[in-house]
Structure 1
Amino acid sequence: MRNDVVKEIEDLLRERLGWSEVGMCEELWRFVGVDVNEFRRHGIEPCIWLEGINELSNLRNPYWLGLRASDLSVKKYNKKVRLILNTTNAIDAVFFLKILGTIRTPSLVVEWKNKAPTAKYVSRSIALSFYVDLDIGNRPWPIKLNADELEKMIKNFNDKELAMFIAGALDGDGSIWYNGSVNVMISVCKDCPKSFILDMLKRVIAERFGIVGSDRSLETADVLMFYGRNAVKLLRHIAKYVHHPLRRLRIELILALYDGRISREAFEKLYEITEYEYGGPDIKRNHALEILTRAAPQTHTHGAKQKTKNIKHNH
């Protein structure tokens, strides 16, 4: 019933207000200061992350297992399984809403979050938790990840399925950046049960694609890194399955540069627009609720641990 109601609202928005997924995407980019027309003039489509996203309605798509191996939380209660994605980030808010929405209409919890040490300019953040509930028999993969079982599943993937899995892991907790060379990073929490995933991925990617990665230990995370030509080669395999708006946009930019479709000058100008302002009040951070009300007006809250009726934006 709830899914039907939201669908009716979306249909009305389309008919009366001209709302669409592409319009939602463009509003997101405007909000964070990305000029979609400037990118399109250079042959880069900023809303390409929406292409093929409806294929995620099938939970057997390996993308979900990759996301589960990184950022997607799974909790079991009664006879249900709950899939949960949390964020305070403007881009993630639209992204999480859209990918969970391929399964069914997500519920949304809005709550205050304590100040993050890395965001001293924010007194308090507004955190969003998106979740969908499934019958326990509908889960296509284990609730708890087991190293041997996961590696067996991944080794049975064909090349396309493996690329989908890697894309999900990257979208969940990964990064792509350019600093004179291309860098791709997949991370997991430090000394947590998911740490085995990086070693397994490193082996499988090297065996299947001939792409060599390296391990690094950061202060709060363990990461698998790919540099230079190895990174570009990996991006070519996974590009079409990456749906995180910013990561996909950077991939499209990087591949356009390496394929000679844009000049280095144009690349550097466009890439600068995608960068975060570290240590400063970047609009991409801590504006999750605000962008949701602008870009996805059919969204509604299901509940909240703390009242948000009189929220004042402190970011």
Structure 2
Amino acid sequence: MNLGNIGVSIMHQSECLAKGGFKINGPPEMGKGPMHNEEDQEPSNETSLPQPTQVGRIETCTELIRQATKCLENNDKDCVTRLIEELVKANCHNGNAVGKELADEVKDVVHELWLISDSGEVCRLLMLLRNLGISKNWIREALGLNSKDLNKRLAKCGIDWESKATRNDIVKVIEGLLREKFGWSETKMCEELFKFIGIDVEAFRRYGIEPCIWLEGLEELSDLKKPYWFGLRASDLTVREFDDRTELEIDTTGSVDAVFFPTLLNTVKTPSLIVKREREAPAAKYVRKAITLEYYVDLGLNEWPWPINLNADELEKILNGFSDEELSMFLAGEIDGDGSVQYKGTVYVWITACKNCPKRINLDVLRMIIAKRFSIIGGFYQLETADALVFSGENAIRLLRRIAKYVHHPIRRLRIELILALYDGRISREAFEELYKTTEYKLGGPDIKHNNALAVAARAA
């Protein structure tokens, strides 16, 4: 997986606020309760485009939209067409660059021209937008058409949209060149990620622990029927159905997930990226901005094989129908999403869900199924905003042995390999503790492992 396929602009670093699901960092210790999510507590180091450039672009776009509106009032279609071309070349149609409000105004201009154009002019407009590299999704939204109607119009105009080289094709060519000329590989990307967050891969390798083992077996996830995907859907993955497509979406502010999520989605289809600057007030004084990376892929209507919404009885029925290996895959997906693996004197495995939300039913079903199938016993722990199903000690070790090869989250898989090495006597406790420290997250203050998603994605690309 090459993150070059996700058009990320490399920006200077600034502190940012994490956003997203609640995860758990640590088990109750000395009666003080669990530590909060390691992976969602630290500030980020990214910023937006330099302010003068952003302001200048907005001023340019506002003026072009004003001129286009005037041309529409005068029914000057050629003038509007010329200004639409200028608007696109100035990136005024891109909500990430100028904001959703301005981008929507560009769509309005295109739609107004569409309404007053004859069939020949409509074809010329569509050809212009195609040649400018505008996506079909953007055009559908601007014109208020579904995919079927837009495709009919394109066919009538004799426009073969697919004949143009797609971004995915270009990415594959670039990736091939990187492999051939520069020796790029997924392993090098993995090593760069760990280097960025302060983990020495060679230190682990000296004890026979491979930090990039999480990459193994990813190719099997090209099949969405693998229960891993159902487990991830039960945790962090959002699945949305539209009239003409199904969208898989997952977002993050974390450094590790900025590489993990697109690598995972890429097993199915090359993901797209939206960089979102959130408007909510920061929850921590050391955070100034809130930046989220949202990765998504569009599938056909019938490509997602699992239920999108289901109740406890339906979930129990599906899980009971799984083999032991399939259930282990499902649990790995759950833990890669809303789970945590820790060592605090003993081993803890956490699976969390928000209180009083549909995902909460998963915990009750999972506790019962795991106990019944594997004789592995877990208990519940209540947090302020979430509930957790917790396995500890020997129960946690037995669970990790079952799911280890299916876990792909880089930090969680690394911790699992390290913990099992300790319990199997392949590493001393002193060496274990030194290595484990490098995987821990700092709480209550800046940590390179958190809120640096944009910087990590750019570095990996």
The TM-score normalised by the length of structure 2 is 0.63
- SS, match of residue 351 in structure 2: strand
Q: Which amino acid aligns with 1:249?
A: L
Q: Which runs of 5+ in 1 are unaligned?
A: 298-315
* Partners of 1:88 and 1:128 within 8 A in 2: yes
Are positions 1:261 and 2:420 aligned together?
Answer: no
Aligned counterparts, 1:72-221, within 5 A? 72-113=237-278, 114-117=280-283, 119-221=284-386
Are positions 1:293 and 2:458 aligned together?
Answer: yes
Check 1:209–1:109 CA distance in 2 against 1; reply closer, same or farther (3 A cut).
Answer: same
Give the superposed CA RMSD: 1.0
Superposition deviation, residue 146 in structure 1: 2.6
Q: Which amino acid aligns with 1:185?
A: W
Corresponding residue of 1:60: 225
- SS, match of residue 271 in structure 1: helix
Q: Which amino acid aligns with 2:345?
A: G
Q: Which portions of structure 1, spanning 4 or more consecutive aligned residues, are displaced by more than 3 angstroms?
A: none
Corresponding residue of 1:43: 208
Check 1:115–1:171 CA distance in 2 against 1; reply closer, same or farther (3 A cut).
Answer: farther
- SS, match of residue 226 in structure 1: strand
Superposition deviation, residue 116 in structure 1: 4.4
Q: Distance in 2 between matches of 1:89 and 1:123?
A: 16
Superposition deviation, residue 115 in structure 1: 4.9
Percent of paired sites with the same residue:
61
* Partners of 1:189 and 1:195 within 8 A in 2: yes
* Partners of 1:6 and 1:105 within 8 A in 2: no
Superposition deviation, residue 273 in structure 1: 0.4
Check 1:189–1:250 CA distance in 2 against 1; reply closer, same or farther (3 A cut).
Answer: same
Superposition deviation, residue 165 in structure 1: 0.2
Q: Which runs of 5+ in 2 are unaligned?
A: 1-165
Corresponding residue of 1:13: 178
Superposition deviation, residue 77 in structure 1: 1.4
Q: Which amino acid aligns with 1:36?
A: V
Instruction: Give the stretch that moved more between structures: 29-38 or 7-16.
Output: 7-16
Corresponding residue of 1:303: none
- SS, match of residue 4 in structure 1: helix
> C-alpha deviations, 1:108-140, integer Å up to 9, x for none?
0001133542x4311113210000111111110
Q: Distance in 1 between matches of 2:354 and 2:171?
A: 35
Q: Distance in 2 between matches of 1:93 and 1:115?
A: 23
Q: Radius of gyration: which is bigger? A: 2
Q: Which amino acid aligns with 1:241?
A: Y
Q: Which amino acid aligns with 1:47?
A: C
Q: Distance in 2 between matches of 1:265 and 1:128?
A: 37
Check 1:232–1:110 CA distance in 2 against 1; reply closer, same or farther (3 A cut).
Answer: same
**Partner residue of 2:236 out of 71, 81, 89:** 71
Instruction: Give the stretch that moved more between structures: 142-151 or 257-266.
Output: 142-151
- SS, match of residue 256 in structure 2: helix
